[in-house]
Structure formats: C-alpha cells, structure tokens
C-alpha cells in the first residue's frame, strides 16, 4: 500500500516529481495507491492545488478529501455525493469524503456508503483527518469491507479528537471498541 498526502507537490518540483514516480511505480507493481488531498493554503494556492490534484487523481486507487478539498479538484458541487462521483469519474475506484461531525461518505466501485460520526466531546480536531485515513487503510489492507473500513475510520478519527495534539490520541486496535461503549466501566 502506498499512501501520499496532497501537500507533497507544494513543497518543491522535486517532491512533485517524486510523488508522480512513486505512484507510477506502485501501479506498475500492482500496489494500491491512495491519495489524501490534504490541502494547506499556507503552502500553495487553491488553483495550483486543484491542478496538481487533477494530475494525480487518475493514477491512484483511493482518494480521501474533505468536501472543500474535493471542490478544488472538481469545481463547485451541490453535496458530498456529487463530489465523490465526480472524483470517481476521474479514475479511482474508491473515493472517501471526510465530513467531520457529519461522518463520511464513500463511493466505492459504483456503490454509495455512508457512515455517521460518533458523538463525542471534542477537545481538539488536529490530526483527526489523518487518523481517519489511517483507520480506513488499516482495514483496507486487512481485506475488510467498505462498511467496516468506514466505521474504523470514523472511530479512529474520533479518538484523536478526545485529546490535545495531532497523534497523541491514536488508539490501538483493541481500544477502538471502547469508544461508544455504553458500559461506564470496561474490564
């Protein structure tokens, strides 16, 4: 599994070239590649990011994006489903739109999936998107279905929101079941 983040092309022409090489090498080797648009306005402008995204998206298998990030690649859309379908039309078999407190939507091999968010007391959202992607990809490499992948992604992202910092709240696999547990005590 190869995973790349959208900020890479913004760093330098060499980083962009390396990204394209890595994606092509993965594809040639039959290794699935995923791409998280992960737009950062301090690194580059929206037009340049959208152009770079449109170059990369057709060559990857899985795309992750927030709704606003998706619009950089496909233009204004009416909702997350339209964004996912338009990105999928560019080539990837799996498009996952991260919707934060509204959960997630995925368009996978022509089928639509939705996952509600978990109700939590949010302390800090930094790192939630990266944790979401990690949870999804962990289940993808385990061969689990779309529903399980989305459920783990949402739970993993929620865990990170419970503590300050961007990685400090990342759960171990055995901790995922604790979130949303109706029992006040877990033994």
Name the β-bridge partners of 66. 98
Residue 130 appears among annotated catalytic residues: yes
In tens digits, the chain (187 residues) has pLDDT values of: 999 887 776 778 888 889 899 999 999 999 999 999 999 898 889 999 999 999 999 999 999 999 999 999 999 999 999 999 999 999 999 999 999 999 999 999 999 999 999 988 998 999 899 999 999 999 999 999 999 999 999 999 999 999 888 777 778 888 888 777 555 554 4
Given the residues 61, 109, 130, 174, select the one marked as catalytic. 130
> Cα–Cα distance between 94 and 84 in angstroms, integer?
9
* Domains of the chain, start order: 1-117 (3.40.1190.20), 118-187 (no CATH)
Predicted local confidence at residue 181, as pLDDT:
58
What pLDDT score was predicted for residue 2?
92
Give pLDDT, residue 176: 80
Report in angstroms the alpha-carbon separations of 109 from 46, 96, 163: 28, 12, 35
pLDDT of residue 47: 94
Q: What span, in angstroms and rounded, lies between the C-alpha atoms of 178 and 187?
A: 10
Alpha carbons 70 and 78: distance in angstroms, whole number: 12
Q: What is the largest CA-CA distance in the chain?
A: 53
Residue with tokens 């996912």: 84
Output the pLDDT for position 103.
95
**Whole-structure pTM value:** 0.92
Supply the pLDDT for residue 177: 80
Rounded CA-CA distance 24/42 in Å is 28
Helix 80-88 to helix 67-74 angle (10° resolution) is 50
Query: Which pair of tokens denotes residue 30?
Result: 């039959």
HEC readout, 90-147: CCCCEEEEECHHHCEEEEECCEEEEECCCCCCCCCCCCHHHHHHHHHHHHHHCCCCHH
How far is the first Cα of the chain from the last one, in angstroms, to the nearest whole number? 35
């Amino acid at each position: 599994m190869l995973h790349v983040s959208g900020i890479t092309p913004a760093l330098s022409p060499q980083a962009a070239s390396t990204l394209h090489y890595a994606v092509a090498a993965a594809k040639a080797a039959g290794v699935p590649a995923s791409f998280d648009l992960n737009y950062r306005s301090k690194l580059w402008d929206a037009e340049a990011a959208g152009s770079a995204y449109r170059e990369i998206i057709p060559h990857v298998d899985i795309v992750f994006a927030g709704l606003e990030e998706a619009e950089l690649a496909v233009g204004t859309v009416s909702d997350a489903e339209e964004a996912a379908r338009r990105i999928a039309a560019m080539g990837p078999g799996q498009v996952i739109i991260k919707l934060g407190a509204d959960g997630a939507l995925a368009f996978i091999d022509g089928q639509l999936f939705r996952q509600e968010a978990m109700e939590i007391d949010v302390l800090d959202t930094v790192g939630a998107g990266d944790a979401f992607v990690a949870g999804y990809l962990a289940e993808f490499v385990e061969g689990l279905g779309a529903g399980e992948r989305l459920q783990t992604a949402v739970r993993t992202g929620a865990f990170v929101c419970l503590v300050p910092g961007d990685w400090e709240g990342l759960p171990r696999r055995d901790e995922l079941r604790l979130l949303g547990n109706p029992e006040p005590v877990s033994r």
